[in-house]
Structure 1
């Protein structure tokens, strides 16, 4: 009795342009192929595959399959329209909640020239803010902070989905401005969780914790378990630290209060700028600092 040759499917058939769209391996039989259109098994022979492709059943199934999986290609939005949508998203992120964009998008589209191409609603607006605007601002923020000293303003909150979050605002000397840093998700509202989450967020932004010179919160006992310098209860003992810190940041403070006095018309800022702009005050603190340092050293020895 002659030996019957059993041929196995070849992977090259799966790459053949005539078969690749519908041919695959049969999961129930290693010696057969499977047609995805007809949902049927085929002998692993090239002649059988070619014959199956010409059958009426296969052609009909292929036609139905192509119609079911037809993809409609939508024309791309112009760059000008994308810029308009991004500007609206930036306005929403700065001034209001996301929900008004449903009406604002329709208003702009119906009443402004070339606005008809804009299709902007809550889902798209949220996606643009999270995936386009936020990463862009983060990229600009990191080098702007650099190795400068900074302080933080913290506020814990709970959103409508009952998820705890920690809002973080960073203040630092910049040629631009101090700005919102991030919203940090919290698993719990206790001090340890807040401290760990905050430290991790600062690490994500590559901010040195040693450059943190102050934190402002509305519940310091819970939100600030960090090892940050604290002013001594005896006021005169903290003068040396304050003088040293002012001297290290003299130029930055002078520029800061100059900007505040010019832009905000603040009387206190004008007064402080005059003091910092006076060389006599600078020399006085330079003279006073080593004496205060020596006094601090003697006090600690005692």
Structure 2
């Protein structure tokens, strides 16, 4: 039998048909080869197992002793060593990674990572106050948590206490920033600007000066600015001013705010630092008792609490309210009882303002009512304002609004009168149309007043006389020292008013303070009283519409106005004791010094020594 036939005998599958002499295909041959290999593997595996079992039973080593690998039977092992077997123990030791020392000095972690006090192998976050595993991944994972990020951000915005104790470039830069913020707040306070401007001003400065690190680092908005005003600038200026008032002579000006019961104190003293007399805001006191005694007690408590001596107080000024300037029970009277040498100065501007309203009581009351009605009728309706603008264009009148009369704005009366006279043609045409077309009663009353030429003459007279009073008022609202010119200015103004109705032969040779205003024999004839050129022009244009009786009534009221005005000025200025003392102050006027009058200032100096 050939070798091929032996191969086929072992590998021929039983399900194949027995066809000797027929050649096999390639797939059949491959299948037969794998089948043979399977038989051979099974044969050798069975032989190996039998040999293994034999050596285990009879104790013969399977391999040589050079390999140091011996398999022994359980029985032989028991014979040689009767000691019991030890149980195999599990390994319970765990490995913990220690914190690398190089991470402690790494610029990324050095600010907050340290070694834990309780576990040296772990890290500790100073910001979050917690331990961290020593691996780099755990440290980076902690660094990216929201809690750590928020804490780190807040820490960067907070300065350390030690930073304020160590002088260096950072402290110098911080001082420069603080100085810049103080100057910005000082600028806002000096120019009386809104505090809300600080929300935008630092950003503007940083944008204008992009190369300045100081401007870039300024952080001063409205909230911080308010704190600086209240607790830095205010406290410093107050303590500085109080320390000066303790050692120098001063006067103070007070005024009360009746709506919220507060008392304002402004101190005037000679500041040796700037070498001039200055006015400084001293304090704002809350008062519960608004009587003269209550105000005086409030001032006394403030002086005693700040250790300011009343002996240093040499002057007192206020408005002309009775509670302040009352001769028997006012604040000035109580101060005189405590300080006999104190100088009392009423408000000149307030006194001048009170003269004009008092004199206006001699004129018809409908003049003020007419001015108020005109303003009210036009200001409350946009439709009427648009219609009024058309009449202004038609009459070629300046398109200006009418002004409201205000008792708190002392100079407003003159402006109201002048504006009505400027708008007279447009007002007359507008209210004529409103009275005829709309039929509103107020428009009819206003039209009736505008059509009366006497009304226009009254307004023209006020436009003539009020500027003289307001000019004097404005002169003493100036910031420069003007008290040495007060007597001369008032003398000149009063003399000009007197010349309108007093005979020249009485006015010229005599001192005006000696003229008897109540004597009718000193007055001019009723027709010779001067009311201004505009009044005469209006009368000539409307002489046919004005009766003799109306004209005389107008002239009498104008005379009463002059008499009342001059009486008020005599009473408040010319006949008071203070005005007589002001005669000595002419020695301070450079014009008088050049002319050599007075020859000496000794009388003035003696007033301050006594």
TM-score, with length taken from structure 1: 0.51
C-alpha deviation, 1:127, in angstroms: 0.7
2:175 is aligned with 1:79: yes
Tell me what 1:38 maps to. none
The unaligned stretches of length 5 or more in structure 1 are 1-49, 51-60, 231-237, 246-262, 294-302
Partner residue of 2:588 out of 269, 272, 278: 272
Q: Which has the higher contact order (CA 8 A, sep 6+)?
A: 1
The 1:264/1:129 distance shift into structure 2, 3 A limit, reads same
2:331 aligned residue: 225
Which digits, 9 at most, give the CA deviation of each residue in 1:84-132, with x for residues without a partner? 1100111122221423222323322332343221122222111111211
Q: Is the 8 A contact 1:213 1:229 kept in 2?
A: no
Provide the residue aligned with 1:147 in structure 2.
Answer: 247
Q: Distance in 2 between matches of 1:265 and 1:185?
A: 31
After superposition, what is the alpha-carbon deviation per residue over 1:137-174, rounded to whole angstroms, capped at 9, x for unaligned? 2332233333333211112237xxx7442221111223
TM-score, scaled to structure 2: 0.28
Q: CA shift at 1:202, angstroms?
A: 2.3
Alpha carbons of structure 1 residues 264 and 286: separation in structure 2 relative to 1, 3 Å: closer
Is 2:257 the partner of 1:157? yes
Q: 1:166 to 1:286 in 2, by over 3 A?
A: closer
Greater share of strand: 1
Counterpart of 1:117? Answer: 217
Single out whichever of 221-230 and 89-98 deviates more from structure 2: 221-230
The 5-angstrom pairing of residues 231-250 of structure 1 reads none
Deviations 1:246-265 (A, max 9, x none): xxxxxxxxxxxxxxxxx959
Contact 1:145 1:174 in 2 (8 A): no
1:4-19 maps to which residues of 2 (within 5 A)? none
- The equivalent residue for 2:308 is 207
Aligned to 2:188: 92
RMSD: 4.5
- Which ranges of structure 2 fall in alignment gaps of 5 or more residues? 1-117, 119-128, 132-146, 160-172, 325-329, 344-478, 486-584
Q: Report how far residue 194 of structure 1 moved.
A: 2.7
Q: Distance in 1 between matches of 2:247 and 2:322?
A: 28
- Relative to total residues, which structure has the larger helix share, 1 or 2? 2
**Contact (CA 8 Å) 1:202, 1:208: kept in 2 or not?**
yes
- Which secondary structure does the structure 1 equivalent of 2:220 belong to? coil
Distance 1:207 1:112 in 2: 46
Question: What is the alpha-carbon distance in structure 2 between the residues aligned to residue 287 and residue 197 of structure 1?
Answer: 33
Distance in 2, Cα, partners of 1:122 & 1:157? 27
Q: Give 3-state SS (helix, strand or coil) of 1:154's partner.
A: strand
Q: Please state if 1:281 is matched with 2:573.
A: no
After superposition, the Cα gap between the structure-2 partners of 1:205 and 1:178, relative to the gap in structure 1 and judged at 3 Å, is farther
Contact 2:250 2:312 in 1 (8 A): yes
Distance 1:79 1:185, change over 3 A: same
C-alpha distance in structure 1 between counterparts of 2:186 and 2:607, whole Å: 49
